[in-house]
Amino acid sequence: MSAFITVDKEDPLVDEVIKINIKGLQKNQHVTVRAEVIEKGQVFAGSGCFVADDNGTVDISKQPSTCGTYKGVFSMGLFWSMRSSPNMPPGLRLIKNNASSPLVTDITVFLGHLTFEQTYNSNVKPMLQKTIRRWYMARGVQKVRVRSGRIRGTLFLPPGQGPFPGVIDMFGIVGSCVEFRAALLASRGFAALALPYFLYDDLPKNLSELEFEYFMEAIDWLSTHPHVNGNNLGVIGVSKGGELALQMGYYSNKIKSVVSINGAPFFSVIPLKYKGDFIGVSDFDPDNFTETEEGLDVRNTMNCDTENYLPIWERDVHVLLISGQDDKQLKQKFLPNLFKCYPADRKHLCELHVYPGAGHLIEPPYAPLARSTIKYNRGVLGDYGRQRLLWGGETVAHAHAQEDSWRHIIDHFRRTLSSTPQTKEENAANSKL
């Protein structure tokens, strides 16, 4: 019998666990399996080495990888352990800007146990290959470009007429319109607006040109959309986006729920103008960074005492804080200290999850770790913004943080942006994420 590759799900979402089997091998046959993604000309891959069982089968969800980019038993290890291929430069991040196209992955099987680098040796020929497509947009999700007043972005709407709870989604100093998380949120039942705020279309080229009114206008725009329940609005962000999410939850009474992923509990680096005045900024020392072989550790460039934190605990908004404890951009104490600022009678409004070994860029599940990347945005970070930035994270611990935090994020929005209790079916679906 000829060997072949099977996958248990056709067209899965990227946050779903898939099971990959290689069948028809010889008993105890040694093979190497590689998963490879090419996005915008950049090549990322993960690999594992396996031994076929007595039936000539490798079940990646049950059998350990003994070497490669990960070791041990992990159903999705081939995906979250991906790194730049040997012929790619360092400092790359796998990021999907156009969420309406699939993340195409080639699963390749090689004879014998090979190192990751050896799988790219032109003399090594594959014995099997299968292409799988994983999606950010579930079937029926609509994608709508947004140009309204000065608001720009992409709105993702779940199937049906709604009205749906609405979520504004923001990223950090990468700029542009990053769609993939908003598309996933829409696939889970939320009307999600991927909101860029600089380096996109006719938006400002520099953070210093931003006005906070832009974000307040985005809230007003989403709240009046015909397919959105304006009484159930939330906001999520990572890095600078997480910082802005907290500010939006504080300044707008239309926001009921906030998720901040490694976002400072104060305005960092550059203050924003709001109603003609600048609103708070931390003490910022652009020279107080640490150079490492991997990149710049900038945690110590920002300082802020708790008495100068944004007092979001005064607002009736539900807040979920996600903190990576190997974050090299934000001090580890900031979000735990924000949680401590909540008085006992308001602690129910804030939930904190701290992840040892997780870095700054905590994304939805099974995305590969971007421990460091190259940035060129001098307007945000000064001259050292042209260098490689260290985000932090240990591969296995970071993968766990992404999987676990995503469950909490979906659960948080379902609980706080719903006027009716979750059904048993909804709870069961959430537990499978």
Three-state DSSP string of 241-302: HHHHHHHHHHHCCCEEEEEEECCCCCCCCCCEEECCEEECCCEECCCCCEECCCCEECHHHE
Rounded CA-CA distance 52/62 in Å is 11
Distances (CA, A) of 130 to 21, 107, 108, 260: 11, 5, 7, 38
Dump pLDDT digits (tens) for 199-256: 999 999 988 888 999 999 999 999 999 999 999 999 999 999 999 999 999 999 999 9
| Number of residues in the chain | 433
pLDDT band at 421 (very low <50, low <70, confident <90, very high): very low
Tens-place pLDDT, residues 254-291: 999 999 999 999 988 777 878 877 776 667 777 788 89
Q: Under 8 Å CB-to-CB from 293, ≥6 apart: which residues? A: none
End-to-end CA distance of the chain: 36
What's the mean pLDDT in 407-428?
Answer: 72
pLDDT reported for residue 422? 42
208-220 residue pLDDT tens: 888 999 999 999 9
- Please determine, for residue 376, whether its predicted confidence score (pLDDT) is greater than 60: no
Residue matched to tokens 């509990």: 265
pLDDT recorded at residue 249: 98
CA gap 259, 227 in Å, rounded: 22
Of 269 and 83, the one with more pLDDT: 83
**Three-state DSSP class for residue 345:** helix
Cβ count near 63 (within 10 Å): 17
* 386 band by pLDDT with thresholds 50, 70 and 90: low
Assess contact for 372 and 295: CB atoms under 8 A.
yes
Query: Which amino acid belongs to residue 218?
Result: A
Q: How far apart are CA 348 and CA 320, in angstroms?
A: 11
Sequence-distant (6+) residues with CB within 8 A of 327 are 262, 299, 358, 359, 360, 391, 392
- Cα-Cα-Cα-Cα dihedral sign, residues 185, 190, 196, 202: positive
Q: Which of 380, 359, 375, 94 is nearest to 240 (CA)?
A: 380
Q: Band of the pLDDT at 420, cuts 50, 70, 90?
A: very low
Residues 6 or more apart from 271 whose CB is under 8 A from it? 278, 279, 280, 281
Q: Label the pairing between strands 277-279 and 272-274.
A: antiparallel
**Per-residue model confidence (pLDDT) at position 119:** 97
Active site positions, annotated: 239, 327, 360
- Judged by DSSP in three states, 51 sits in strand
Domains parsed from the chain with CATH numbers: 4-134 (2.60.40.2240), 142-431 (3.40.50.1820)
**What is the chain's mean pLDDT, rounded?**
92
